[in-house]
Amino acid sequence: MSAAEIVTVTLNPAVDQTLQVPGLQLGQINQAHSLRFDAGGKGVNVASVLADLGQACAVTGLLGEDNARIFENQFAARGIADHFIRTPGATRINVKLNDAQSGHTTDINLIASAPAADALVLLRATIAALCAGAARLFVLAGSLPPGVPTDFYATLTRDLKTAGKTVVLDTSGAPFAAALAAAPDLVKPNRHELETWLGRALPDRESVIDGARALRAAGPATVIVSLGEEGALLLSEQGCWLACPPKVNVVSTVGAGDAMVAGWIAATQQGLTPDQSLRLATASAAARISHPDGSLHRAGLTALAAQVDVQVIGF
């Protein structure tokens, strides 16, 4: 097993096919200026950014063997320990149409096939082995493929917490709601995901703060709500903070939330305070949308983090 202390778990990875389509017009013929393929999925994205930030990490989950090479190459290039369970067939492909003129990205996500029962058994055994080894922090990220029980993350969170591990949960919908009572250490919904869980709109800062309080009361120790260009809100037992990001040239918004999670983990691994960790997490998201190739992460985020304004918000 890996000697890495951080493990990301991705049950529903994807090959991201990203096209740059300036001035995208739906229902019309459009010209794409570039095309790239990347190994994707929330946990894969988190691990990639962590590696770019110098953090040793391992990945596991379910991966189609027919097109696994793109993932294997990315893991090898970044020194990420690969513990994915290979399954028959291909990993799904997600198409992302990025319009730099508007700053919007249109996602077309393919629905994955249901995994075989023995694949889930192997995955649980792999996670147990990693848990028994050096791993102390697990990131449970992304959607669940068809056929996987809605309470999969809830059960896994309880098992990991019982073993004394730190659990970061970044998912949505029914799996998110089911896992809250298992008390993950950190959850990071975006505004829309928080609105969906609450069943009401959050039109202003005060309503977002109230929503974050309600979410934290449901079980998680720490809540970060990503707010896009408005930054991020952090709520924990130590206080409440709002981070306002620097202005950057937006190349693609894909993976910004995953980069925020990775930045937070890297900061806490360094022993930074909550407000300092939020600053680095927000800078990490800004680096991702302006330099999606990871170059700004590898160059260091000090200058960008210094441009993040963090305000204390009272309880």
Question: Which tokens go with 241?
Answer: 């903070």
Is residue 279 in some structural domain?
A: yes
Question: Does some domain include residue 50?
Answer: no
What pLDDT, on a 0 to 100 scale, did the predictor assign at position 134? 94
Where b means 16+ CB within 10 Å and e means fewer, 119-157 reads bbebbeebbeebbeeebbbbbbbbbbbeebeebbbbebb
Number of domains in the chain: 2
Q: What is the pTM of this model?
A: 0.94
Residue 115 and residue 63 share a domain: yes
Are 78 and 106 in a shared domain? yes
pLDDT digits (tens, 9 = 90+) for 80-105: 999 999 999 999 999 999 898 887 88
Whether 167 is in a domain gets the answer yes
Distance in angstroms (rounded) separating the CA atoms of residues 205 and 40 = 31
Q: Are residues 196 and 235 in the same domain?
A: yes
Tell how many helices (H) and how many strands (E) occur in the chain: 11, 15
Residues 189 and 112 reside in one and the same domain: no
Q: Is the pLDDT of residue 127 over 60?
A: yes
On whether residue 304 sits in a domain, the answer given is: yes
Please check whether residues 141 and 202 belong to one and the same domain. Answer: no
Over range 137-157, report the average pLDDT. Answer: 97
Give residue 98's pLDDT.
87
pLDDT at 313 over 60: yes
Looking at 118, 137, 171, which one is the last position of a domain? 171
Examine residue 197 and state whether it is found in any structural domain, yes or no.
yes
Query: pLDDT for 201-234, tens place per residue?
Result: 999 999 999 999 999 999 999 999 999 989 999 9
Model pLDDT, residue 252:
80
Q: What is the structure's pLDDT at 1?
A: 66
Say what the alpha-carbon torsion angle 297, 232, 177, 14 is, to the nearest 10 degrees. Answer: -30
- Assigned domain for 179 exists: no
- CATH code (residue 291): 3.40.1190.20
Please check the confidence at residue 315 and state whether its pLDDT lies above 60. Answer: no
Same domain, 232 and 166: no
Q: Are residues 125 and 194 in the same domain?
A: no
Q: What is the pLDDT of residues 64-76, one digit of tens each?
A: 999 999 999 999 9
Separation of CA 197 from chain center: 18
What's the chain's average pLDDT? Answer: 95
Active-site positions read 258
Same domain, 165 and 259: no
**Domain span holding position 143:** 1-43+58-147+160-171
Q: Name the DSSP letter for residue 18.
A: E
| pLDDT given at position 104 | 85
